[in-house]
């Protein structure tokens, strides 16, 4: 396991979801380690509590974000943890629950919130954002080069109330559904990431992880698309360097010192067996670093 779990170690699962990774950590060694599991999604936490019922002496489940991991670790005595895990993206349950609005496979409201207490929703973005702002979001977060055409179609079709209607509008703007990948896929990705400020959250969480993990502890990140992986790769590269001034600069003036050592020189991708057992893992990318 990338976390190199130690008996009686302390680990933080920043995206506990339905508890699968936390269960694997708890059952990987004996005596069992302790895990602090964080998630913003109340439904996911409820599922995790049921799944981890026999491990409750060793697990602390908290409704919270990894953007607050430093404070939450201190509050629950996990500062200096032996490892921290980020499994970014959506859970199967979130995708498969129409009421959450993450997928266009079934009709649901335009929600897309991880934290159902927050005000921002996909409905607000789709129906209130300017055409220019929508185009920028779809281009930047969805890496969709036809974003202006999509944004124009969305604004013309307002109000849009459901996931399936939004998917229809996007598909029509791009000439209909052709092939395996639905033309609205990148637009839905972009809106979800914007609603939940996902890239900003990842940056904040990674910065705090370096401070939360103790010497020799592992920082493990599983990402699912290029924007996330690029951010993680860039962060790890910077934090593994003793100077950020650049090769053409005079003697170092930045004062930066390395905080981590990268253990995965190349990104690790799932095997054919893993993708066969779980097709949704096909885009997963794993990177691991060790705290100095």
Domain stops at, among 131, 160, 195: 195
Considering the domain architecture, whether residues 175 and 251 belong to the same structural domain is answered as no
Backbone phi, psi, residue 56, to 5°: -65, -20
Considering the domain architecture, whether residues 186 and 221 belong to the same structural domain is answered as no
104 assigned to some structural domain: no
Backbone phi, psi, residue 166, to 5°: -60, -45
101 assigned to some structural domain: no
102 assigned to some structural domain: no
Cα(219)–Cα(286) distance, integer angstroms: 11
Considering the domain architecture, whether residues 202 and 187 belong to the same structural domain is answered as no
Considering the domain architecture, whether residues 209 and 270 belong to the same structural domain is answered as yes
How many alpha carbons fall within 13 Å on the CB side of residue 181? 8
Considering the domain architecture, whether residues 202 and 285 belong to the same structural domain is answered as yes
Considering the domain architecture, whether residues 136 and 180 belong to the same structural domain is answered as yes
Considering the domain architecture, whether residues 146 and 284 belong to the same structural domain is answered as no
Residue 166, domain CATH: 1.10.150.170
C-alpha pair distances (Å), 152 with each of 1, 4, 139, 174, 187: 47, 50, 13, 11, 13
In the chain, DSSP assigns E strands to: 10-13, 34-39, 59-63, 81-87, 213-223, 260-262, 285-291
Give yes or no for a contact between 136 and 125, defined as CB atoms under 8 angstroms apart. no
Considering the domain architecture, whether residues 158 and 26 belong to the same structural domain is answered as no
pLDDT in tens, the chain (292 residues): 799 999 999 999 999 999 999 999 999 999 999 999 999 999 999 999 999 999 989 999 999 999 999 999 999 999 999 999 999 988 888 888 999 999 999 999 999 999 999 999 999 999 999 999 999 999 999 999 999 999 999 999 999 999 999 999 999 999 988 878 899 999 999 999 999 999 999 999 999 999 999 999 999 999 998 999 999 999 999 999 988 887 777 778 888 899 999 999 999 998 888 888 887 788 899 999 999 9
200-257 pLDDT, tens per residue? 999 999 999 999 999 999 999 999 989 999 999 999 999 999 888 877 777 788 888 9
Cα pseudo-dihedral 46, 10, 75, 68, rounded to 10: -70
Considering the domain architecture, whether residues 191 and 202 belong to the same structural domain is answered as no
pTM score, whole prediction: 0.93
108 assigned to some structural domain: no
Domain stops at, among 136, 168, 195: 195
Considering the domain architecture, whether residues 214 and 268 belong to the same structural domain is answered as yes
Residue 54, domain CATH: 3.40.50.150
128 assigned to some structural domain: yes
5 assigned to some structural domain: no
Tokens of 15: 């995206």
1 assigned to some structural domain: no
Domain that holds residue 276: 10-92+198-291
pLDDT at 292: 97
Considering the domain architecture, whether residues 207 and 287 belong to the same structural domain is answered as yes
Q: By C-alpha distance, which of 205, 209, 225 is closest to 269?
A: 225
pLDDT at 246: 76
Q: Is the peptide bond before 234 cis (omega within 30 degrees of 0)?
A: no
* Total domains in the fold of the chain: 2
Residue 157, beta-bridge partner list: none
103-112 pLDDT, tens per residue? 999 999 999 9
4 assigned to some structural domain: no
Domain stops at, among 195, 222, 251: 195
DSSP letters of 44-60? HHHHHHHHTGGGTTTEE
Considering the domain architecture, whether residues 203 and 84 belong to the same structural domain is answered as yes
Q: By C-alpha distance, which of 58, 12, 57, 7 is closest to 39?
A: 12
């Amino acid at each position: 396991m990338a976390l190199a779990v130690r008996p009686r170690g302390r680990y933080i699962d920043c995206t506990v979801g339905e508890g699968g990774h936390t269960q694997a950590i708890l059952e990987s060694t004996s005596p069992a380690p302790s895990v602090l599991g964080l998630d913003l999604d109340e439904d996911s936490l409820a599922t995790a509590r049921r799944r981890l019922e026999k491990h409750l002496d060793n697990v602390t489940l908290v409704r919270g974000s990894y953007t607050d991991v430093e404070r939450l670790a201190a509050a629950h005595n996990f500062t200096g943890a032996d490892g921290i895990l980020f499994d970014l993206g959506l859970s199967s349950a979130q995708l498969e629950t129409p009421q959450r609005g993450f997928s266009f496979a079934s009709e649901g409201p335009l929600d897309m919130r991880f934290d159902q207490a927050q005000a921002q929703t996909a409905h607000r973005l789709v129906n209130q954002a300017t055409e220019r702002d929508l185009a920028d979001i779809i281009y930047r977060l969805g890496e969709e080069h036809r974003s202006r055409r999509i944004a124009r179609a969305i604004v013309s079709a307002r109000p849009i109330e459901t996931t399936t209607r939004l998917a229809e509008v996007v598909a029509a703007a791009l000439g209909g559904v052709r092939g395996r990948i639905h033309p609205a896929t990148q637009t839905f990705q972009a809106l979800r990431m914007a609603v939940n400020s996902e890239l900003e959250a990842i940056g904040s969480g990674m910065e705090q992880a370096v401070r939360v993990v103790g010497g020799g502890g592992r920082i493990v990140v599983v990402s699912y698309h290029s924007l996330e992986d690029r951010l993680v790769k860039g962060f790890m590269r910077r934090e593994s360097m003793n100077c950020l001034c650049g090769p053409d600069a005079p003697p170092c003036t930045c004062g930066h010192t390395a905080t981590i050592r990268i253990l995965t020189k190349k990104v690790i991708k799932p095997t054919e067996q893993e993708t066969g057992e779980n097709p949704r893992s096909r885009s997963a990318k794993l990177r691991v670093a060790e705290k100095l």
